[in-house]
Amino acid sequence: MGRYRFAGLNFVLLVLASGQMSLLWGQAPGAAPSPPGMASAPAQAKPSEEIADLQKQSRSHLRLLHRNHPLDVYLFAADERMEVLSASYCGGDEGARQYSGHYQLVGVLGNTVVSRLDLDPDDTFVEKKPHDGARLFPDPQAGQDLIAVFQFGSCNNEVVRFYSADPAGDLFAVPFLDHDGRTWKQKVTETNGVVAHLRDGSSVFCAYADDMGYNFCEAYAFDGANFLETAKWMTQERAEPLKGLDAAGQAKRALFDFLSDLFVNDYPAAGYYYAGNLDFPGAPLDVAHPKQKAKILEAYCTSVGGQCLMPTRIESQAGADSQDAARFEVSFQTGDFQPFQIGDRSSFEFRVAKTAEGFKVLDLPPRLP
């Protein structure tokens, strides 16, 4: 059942295995009452046949406050199919009903359909799981509700996407924007759909990687249109990953992102995390130009013997260097999943410094002699 595939870091983590925790389900699927203080909508005519079908056959019905009037949002598939699970798996229990089809989020103002937004054609919803339909997600920082759609990711994780409505009532997907220039349409979180919050209101998404034994966490603040990165870290705290949000956890995560970005050939993203020397033997002549950093890193990994492999273990080392940079020992694996060595060395030192622009890596991966 684990047919979901994740791009970039989330994919790498799940294949190789991004305050008090609180479950913010908001409104469960089904008819939702108007929020307190919401102005009553004008008297409506009899629902059209289309809207009557939405009301009767939708998988979920949510209500958002839109310019002091309710915007009704339905999770609906005209071709919805249902099957009863014959056996249990991580994403559903034996006997539960599972629904599939080409789902849309349909926005209705009054008696008029004002928006239709297609969801992933592979979306599947299962009773009594976080991925049982669409839910309201109260964002404490923006002070407004979003629409959350969970999907089964793996036995360790759920995938969640968020949606909102613009002033015209048009529904749109809310992207996640990272400092390193990457954009994500979804995030991975715990199997029970838990989304924690930092003190500043940022929403936290943590995914556990079995093979590395770390929770990889990211925090984002909603600005009305996007989720903007506020923090990233990795921690061995399984039950309470927010405890790992410290300098060591953020430095280690910057190092992991740098190395894994090199591994998947995302050199622009890797360049964001690197602030060390790029003047190595065989480096391009334009090494002094910061905008060429991605090309220089690519040359290092592809032309001069740099071993840009997947990190499998990152261990903190005691003490710091003269630049007050944290020191780490990193082990790698080869493309055929074997431990990487140069001679008798199986781990390699890296330094990570805290700068005005965040945590930056000061060393490149090892080169073959």
Which phi-psi region, left, alpha or beta, contains residue 348 (left: φ > 0; alpha: ψ -120 to 50)? Answer: beta
Q: Token pair 């759920």 is at which residue?
A: 158
**Which pLDDT does position 2 carry in this prediction?**
43
**Which pLDDT does position 9 carry in this prediction?**
45
Please list the pLDDT of the chain residue by residue as tens digits (369 residues).
Answer: 444 333 344 444 443 433 333 323 233 333 333 343 344 444 556 778 889 999 999 999 999 987 778 899 999 999 999 999 999 999 999 999 999 999 999 999 988 999 999 999 999 999 999 999 999 999 888 788 999 999 999 998 999 999 999 988 999 999 999 999 999 999 999 889 989 999 999 999 999 988 889 999 999 999 999 999 999 999 999 889 999 999 999 999 999 999 999 999 999 999 999 999 988 888 776 655 656 899 999 999 999 999 999 999 999 998 655 568 999 999 999 989 999 999 999 999 999 999 999 999 999 999 988
Contact 82, 53 (CB under 8 A): no
pTM, rounded to two decimals? 0.84
**Which pLDDT does position 148 carry in this prediction?**
97
The number of CA neighbours under 13 Å toward the Cβ of 71 is: 24
**Which pLDDT does position 29 carry in this prediction?**
37
**Which pLDDT does position 211 carry in this prediction?**
84
**Which pLDDT does position 283 carry in this prediction?**
78
Nearest to 253 by CA among 361, 355, 153: 361
The number of CA neighbours under 13 Å toward the Cβ of 282 is: 11
**Which pLDDT does position 67 carry in this prediction?**
72
CATH entry, 251-361, from 3.10.450, 3.30.420, 3.90.25, 1.10.10: 3.10.450
Contact 330, 348 (CB under 8 A): yes
**Cα 311 from chain centre:** 20
**Which pLDDT does position 110 carry in this prediction?**
87
**Which pLDDT does position 136 carry in this prediction?**
96
Domain boundaries, the chain: 8-34+44-245, 251-361
